[in-house]
């Protein structure tokens, strides 16, 4: 049986050669990098964002811009170390002008995320923002209709893969949504502290 890193490398290769689409063309035209994910491949926590922004596409790493700084601060305040977490996105190429990923783009890229979850087998998946929340809750928690992020953030949802791997989903506000909203920032911190309590 292949080890986790070998399996992830294979999935990463699938991203490099993903079917041509608008986002991949944008990547090639602008010499952007695909943003596969990074972190501890044995992580108990996986963070799933929506899609890379410009900074992320330029450096090939998730959450490396302003949103990333907020995320790092919140993790640190909650007593979590980013190096012990695996961080990725549902869509792994940057949408133009940072628009929301379209349903067809989510459908194309999401199987890569599914494989990452199956390989890493986290105990807790934190979704940042409504798009990642909606995908994960529908895919793994059996919800036909995802709730609003305002009503669902900080809640626990039981999830299970087709192979029987179970984990807990905790939706949270996207860090970008907290830049000008202090209440959302407080909620993000409170929800992250809840994850710490779940781990213990």
Which pLDDT score, from 0 to 100, does residue 6 have?
A: 96
Which pLDDT score, from 0 to 100, does residue 180 have?
A: 84
Which pLDDT score, from 0 to 100, does residue 182 have?
A: 82
Which pLDDT score, from 0 to 100, does residue 33 have?
A: 97
- Supply the CATH number for residue 32's domain: 3.40.470.10
User: Rounded distance, CA 32 to CA 65, Å?
Assistant: 15
Asked if residue 38 lies in contact with residue 61, where contact means CB atoms within 8 angstroms, the answer is yes
Which pLDDT score, from 0 to 100, does residue 92 have?
A: 98
Number of domains the chain contains: 1
Q: What is the pTM of this model?
A: 0.96
Question: Domain range for residue 84?
Answer: 4-199
Asked if residue 30 lies in contact with residue 72, where contact means CB atoms within 8 angstroms, the answer is no
Q: Which residues of the chain have pLDDT under 70?
A: 1
């Amino acid at each position: 049986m292949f080890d986790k890193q070998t399996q992830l490398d294979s999935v990463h290769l699938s991203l490099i050669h993903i079917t041509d689409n608008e986002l991949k063309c944008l990547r090639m035209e602008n010499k952007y990098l695909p943003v596969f994910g990074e972190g501890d491949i044995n992580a108990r926590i996986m963070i799933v964002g929506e899609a890379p922004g410009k900074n992320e596409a330029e450096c090939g790493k998730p959450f490396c811009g302003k949103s990333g700084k907020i995320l790092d601060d919140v993790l640190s305040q909650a007593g979590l170390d980013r190096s012990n977490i695996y961080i990725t996105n549902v869509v792994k190429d940057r949408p133009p002008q940072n628009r929301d990923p379209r349903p067809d783009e989510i459908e194309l890229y999401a199987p890569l995320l599914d494989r990452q979850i199956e390989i890493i087998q986290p105990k807790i998946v934190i979704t940042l923002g409504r798009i990642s929340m909606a995908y994960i809750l529908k895919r793994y928690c059996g919800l036909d209709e995802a709730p609003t992020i305002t009503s669902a953030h900080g809640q626990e949802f039981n999830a299970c893969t087709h192979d029987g791997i179970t984990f807990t989903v905790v939706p949270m506000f996207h860090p970008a949504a907290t830049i000008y909203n202090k209440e959302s920032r407080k909620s993000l911190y409170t929800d992250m502290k809840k994850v710490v309590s779940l781990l213990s």
